[in-house]
Structure 1
Amino acid sequence: MAKGFDCATPLTASTAKAFFQDGYVFVARYLVPNGWKMLSRSEAELISKAGLQIVSVFETTADRALGGRTAGLSDGKTALQTARSIGQPEGSTIYFAVDFDATAAQMSTVIQYIRAASEATPGYSTGVYGSNAVVEAVSKSGACSRFWQTYAWSQGKQSSAANIYQYQNDITLHGIGVDLNRSFGNEGWWNTVDYMMSPEDANKLIAFLGAGYMATGFADAREEFHRLANELRKASNQPEE
């Protein structure tokens, strides 16, 4: 499980570093072509250099998904162009927000929106952000492959399909307003670093090093096992221990 946050405020090098030092692994930012909350290429680079992963979310208005297929194709096209312009690598995920309490009667339209957005973003995985009901309905439809659930409008339920779960909103950390999240794997996050080991692979190797650490009684050997484990953590953008 990884610790993360989302925010509308662009991060600076110092705030990104502060969050990383607090043990945060990822930040979700807005993949939109303009406006004050947009993620820029330069911000993506400084976030990456600070050691954080990026989750991209596309949102213009909260209920944009009610535009159905036409809106999904348009937003997908815009998201694709924006992702390429800021250096988001193919194979990572673009989440499309359903930021309202979608009803059962609206779900078919929401699914049409997500399915169209997915069609319009070739090379990228597609995800949806929304309530438990949205995540459950969209996952069952097969319209996308990644799911970010918010606790809002979810009546205490958490979908087993969720890759990311937003569990608290509207708090202030390091001088900016953020929402708190945790993730469970296959999030589709990214950064601008040319090579990055996955946290899953790094942690498997760290487990082997941990066995060696416990087996040896030599202080120098233990120090070396610890150093190598932290090198693996750095290589996979995880906090050192």
Structure 2
Amino acid sequence: MSVLTGTVQSASSGLVGFDTDTKLDLTTAKLFRQSGYYFCLRYISLATEDDDDLDHDEAQAILDAGLALMPVQHVRYAGWMPDESMGAQTGQAAADNAIHVGFPSKVNVWLDLEGISSDATAATVVAYCNSWYDAVAQVGYLPGLYVGANSILDSQQLYNDLKFQHYWHSLSIVPNVAVRGYQMIQSDGGTVHGVGIDKNLTQADASQGQVQWLIQQG
């Protein structure tokens, strides 16, 4: 698959974007850009890509509309139990699917961490996350972590025990990431231009880290 046309760029603070599980076309993506949205996150699969997941043509249309773009991987149904080998397998799928879409290296690829079984231990969650991180980082992407409800880890564990440097705060009440904090904040949900979305806002974290996305200049 050919590489998407665009430039990897650090996000400026205070920009509004959205994530959606709905496939976008060029016309709709342009409407979002004209409405003041600056970036988009679209979903890639836990395994083989489905028809509703982000593909090369959709990604290029989003970029052509003037929106910056990052991929986020779907999460399993609530109550799932993580382990190290699952993290490696799932991370490899994220890497493979991001490559298939055409993302260049150094873009954030996001792990959606939420809905974990209450029987899971922090140690198994850490093992899952770090093995996922390794699989995604190995091919040149920058792994990011979406911290959602029932993600098990506390503030110190998110910072001290994980390899991640990019964190995304969900709509849920979740711990702060000790020392570093978050680079993207999910604010609210709704329907815009007939598409169900959650809004997101960029910011520099306490270490001056920023999300890294693909954008088409011009």
**Alignment-derived partner of residue 58 in structure 1:** 73
Matched, 1:164 2:164: no
Residues of 1 paired with 2:80 and 2:107: CA distance?
22
**Alignment-derived partner of residue 3 in structure 1:** 16
Residue 143 of structure 1, CA deviation = 2.0
Out of 123-132 and 46-55, give the one that drifted further: 123-132
Residues of 2 paired with 1:35 and 1:138: CA distance?
31
- From the two aligned structures, give the one with the greater strand fraction: 2
**Alignment-derived partner of residue 41 in structure 1:** 56
Q: In the alignment, residue 54 of structure 1 is paired with which amino acid?
A: L
Residue 131 of structure 1, CA deviation = 3.4
Q: Choose from 159, 175, 200 the match for 1:181.
A: 200
Secondary structure, counterpart of 1:168 in structure 2? strand
**Alignment-derived partner of residue 159 in structure 2:** 139
Residues of 2 paired with 1:189 and 1:124: CA distance?
11
**Alignment-derived partner of residue 238 in structure 1:** none
Secondary structure, counterpart of 2:212 in structure 1? coil
The structure whose RCO (Cα within 8 Å, separation 6+) is larger is 2
Residues of 1 paired with 2:41 and 2:167: CA distance?
13
| Correspondence list, 1:62-101, <5 A | 62-63=77-78, 66-100=81-115
Residues of 2 paired with 1:125 and 1:100: CA distance?
23
Count matched residues.
Answer: 191
Residues of 2 paired with 1:131 and 1:60: CA distance?
10
Out of 115-124 and 96-105, give the one that drifted further: 96-105
Q: In the alignment, residue 33 of structure 2 is paired with which amino acid?
A: F
Residue 151 of structure 1, CA deviation = 2.6
Deviation by residue 1:111-167 (Cα, 9 ceiling, x = unmatched)? 21110011112111111111387483323323212111113133xx65552111112
Deviation by residue 1:157-189 (Cα, 9 ceiling, x = unmatched)? 6555211111213x1100011111111141122
Q: Is this contact kept in 1: 2:146–2:167, CA < 8 A?
A: yes
**RMSD over aligned Cα, in angstroms?**
2.4
Using the size of structure 2 for normalisation, the TM-score is 0.78
Residues of 2 paired with 1:56 and 1:64: CA distance?
24
Q: How has the CA–CA distance of structure 1 residues 106 and 39 changed in structure 2, closer, same or farther, with 3 Å as cutoff?
A: same
Secondary structure, counterpart of 1:43 in structure 2? helix
Residue 108 of structure 1, CA deviation = 2.4
Question: Unaligned 5+ residue runs, structure 1?
Answer: 197-234, 236-241
Q: Is this contact kept in 2: 1:75–1:117, CA < 8 A?
A: yes
Residue 101 of structure 1, CA deviation = 6.5
Which structure: larger Rg? Answer: 1
Using the size of structure 1 for normalisation, the TM-score is 0.71
Residues of 1 paired with 2:51 and 2:21: CA distance?
8
Secondary structure, counterpart of 1:30 in structure 2? strand
Percent identity of paired positions between Structure 1 and Structure 2:
25
